[in-house]
C-alpha cells in the first residue's frame, strides 16, 4: 500500500498511493495545520464536548502526519536507500509471510503500480523519483507536486492503478496459460492492492481522482477505511486513517476558501469530470472481476484453490 511535499506513497498492500501528504501522491505541503480544539468541561453540552474531542483527534493526527512526513522526506537523502536496496529489504520482509517467490512477485507488482505514477508525473512535466519500498506499508515516490490542477492530480493518481491493473492482467494471463497457482495468486493480490488504492480518500489514489470528480467523497472514504480495519484486522491501516485525518481538513478548508487560486485548482470541466469518473468506476469493475477469476489461497509455497 499510496507526502505532500514530494512523497507519493501507497497503501499498506503495496498500492501506490500517489503523491501528497505522505503523499503517497501528493502536493507540496502548504497551509496551516488543522487547529486543535480543547476538551470541554463536564458541564458543557455533550455536542460541544464531542466536538472538542474530535478536534483533539485531528490535532493528534496532524502531529503524527507531520512527524511521519518529515521521516519520509529524509529517505531520498539517504544514498543507501535506493529502489533496488529497499526492494530487497521488502522482499526479505514479505518472504517471512509468503516465501520469497511470492514476495518477489508482490514487490514487482508494486513497482509496476508506482511506475504508473512516475510516468504520468513526467508527462505532466514534473520530475519524480524512482520508487522506494517500505515493508508492510507499500512504496513511495517523491515529487514537488501532483500537477497544476485537480484534473492533473486525478491523472497522476489513476495512472498507478491503470498500469498496475495492466500488470496484474498480464500475470493472470501467464498464470492461466501455464497453470501456475503462484502466478494466479500474485495476480489476485495485484488486483486487490490496486482496488484498495481506489478508496476515495486522500492520500489514496482514489482520493486523488475524487479531487476532480467529487471531493465530498473523501468523507465516505474515511468511513470505508475504518470499516476495513474491522473487517481485515490490519493495524497498519490506522496509519492511513491518521494521514487522511491530517490532510482532509486542510484540503477541505482550501476547497471551501473561495480564493482565486483554489477556485482555479478545483475548476474541472464537466467532460473531464465525467471521463475521470468513468475511468474510476471502470477500474473498480475490472479489478473486482479480476479478483473473482484469480482467487486462490496461497501461503508460503502452498496453494489451495477456493471452491
Q: pLDDT of 249-296, one tens digit each? A: 888 888 887 788 888 888 899 999 999 999 999 999 999 999 999 987
Q: Is residue 265 included in any domain, yes or no? A: yes
| Total number of domains in the chain | 1
- Residue 108: give the domain boundaries: 7-305
Q: Flag whether 1 is in a domain.
A: no
Does the residue 29 lie in any domain?
yes
Flag whether 2 is in a domain: no
* pTM for the structure as a whole: 0.71
What pLDDT was estimated at residue 4? 36
Phi, psi of 19, deg, nearest 5: -75, 145
User: Nearest CA to 112 among 191, 183, 179, 181?
Assistant: 191
> What pLDDT is stored for residue 254 in this prediction?
82
- Mean per-residue pLDDT of the chain: 76
Task: Assess if residue 62 is contained within a domain.
Answer: yes
Q: How far apart are alpha carbons 72 and 139 in whole angstroms? A: 11
pLDDT at 31: 34
pLDDT at position 71 is 45
For residue 302, what pLDDT is reported?
54
Question: How many Cα atoms within 13 Å fall on the side-chain side of residue 190?
Answer: 37
Residue whose entry in the numeric block shows the C-alpha cell 510516468: 119
Q: State residue 257's pLDDT score.
A: 79
Answer yes or no: is 58 within a domain: yes
How many other CB atoms are found less than 10 A from the CB of residue 188?
A: 24
Q: CA–CA separation, 273 vs 266, rounded Å?
A: 11
Q: What is the pLDDT of residues 28-80, one digit of tens each?
A: 333 333 333 333 444 455 455 445 545 554 454 445 444 444 444 444 444 44
Per-residue pLDDT, 298: 53
CA–CA dist 201, 218 (Å, integer):
4
Asked if the model's pLDDT at residue 166 lies above 60, the reply is: yes
User: pLDDT, tens digit, for every residue of 120-159?
Assistant: 999 999 988 888 898 888 888 888 888 889 999 999 999 9
Residue 179 inside a domain? The answer is yes
Q: Is residue 212 part of a domain?
A: yes
Amino acid at each position: 500500500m499510496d507526502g505532500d511535499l514530494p512523497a507519493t506513497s501507497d497503501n499498506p498492500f503495496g498500492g501506490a498511493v500517489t503523491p501528497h501528504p505522505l503523499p503517497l501522491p501528493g502536493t507540496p505541503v502548504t497551509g496551516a495545520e488543522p487547529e486543535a480544539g480543547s476538551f470541554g468541561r463536564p458541564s458543557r453540552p455533550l455536542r460541544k464536548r464531542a466536538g472538542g474531542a474530535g478536534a483533539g483527534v485531528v490535532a493528534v493526527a496532524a502531529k503524527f502526519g507531520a512527524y511521519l512526513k518529515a521521516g519520509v522526506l529524509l529517505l531520498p537523502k539517504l544514498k543507501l536507500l535506493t529502489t533496488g536496496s529497499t526492494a530487497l529489504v521488502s522482499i526479505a520482509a514479505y518472504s517471512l509471510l509468503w516465501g520469497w517467490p511470492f514476495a518477489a512477485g508482490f514487490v514487482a507488482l508494486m513497482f509496476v503500480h508506482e511506475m504508473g505514477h512516475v510516468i504520468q508525473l513526467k508527462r505532466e512535466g514534473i520530475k519524480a523519483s524512482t520508487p522506494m519500498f517500505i515493508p508492510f506499508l507499500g512504496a513511495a515516490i517523491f515529487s514537488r507536486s501532483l500537477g497544476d490542477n485537480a484534473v492533473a492530480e486525478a491523472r497522476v493518481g489513476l495512472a498507478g492503478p491503470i498500469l498496475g491493473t495492466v500488470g496484474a492482467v498480464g500475470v493472470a494471463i501467464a498464470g492461466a496459460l501455464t497453470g501456475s497457482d503462484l502466478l494466479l495468486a500474485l495476480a489476485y493480490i495485484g488486483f486487490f492492492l490496486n482496488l484498495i488504492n481506489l478508496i476515495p480518500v486522500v492520500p489514496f489514489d482514489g482520493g486523488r481522482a475524487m479531487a476532480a470528480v467529487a471531493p465530498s467523497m473523501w468523507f465516505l472514504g474515511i468511513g470505508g477505511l475504518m470499516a476495513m480495519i474491522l473487517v481485515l484486522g490490519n493495524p497498519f491501516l490506522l496509519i492511513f486513517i491518521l494521514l487522511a485525518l491530517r490532510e482532509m481538513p486542510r484540503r477541505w478548508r482550501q476547497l471551501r476558501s473561495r480564493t482565486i487560486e483554489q477556485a482555479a485548482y478545483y475548476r474541472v470541466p464537466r467532460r473531464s469530470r465525467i471521463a475521470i469518473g468513468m475511468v474510476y468506476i471502470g477500474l473498480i469493475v475490472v479489478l473486482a472481476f479480476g479478483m473473482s477469476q484469480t482467487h486462490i489461497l496461497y501461503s508460503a509455497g502452498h496453494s489451495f484453490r477456493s471452491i
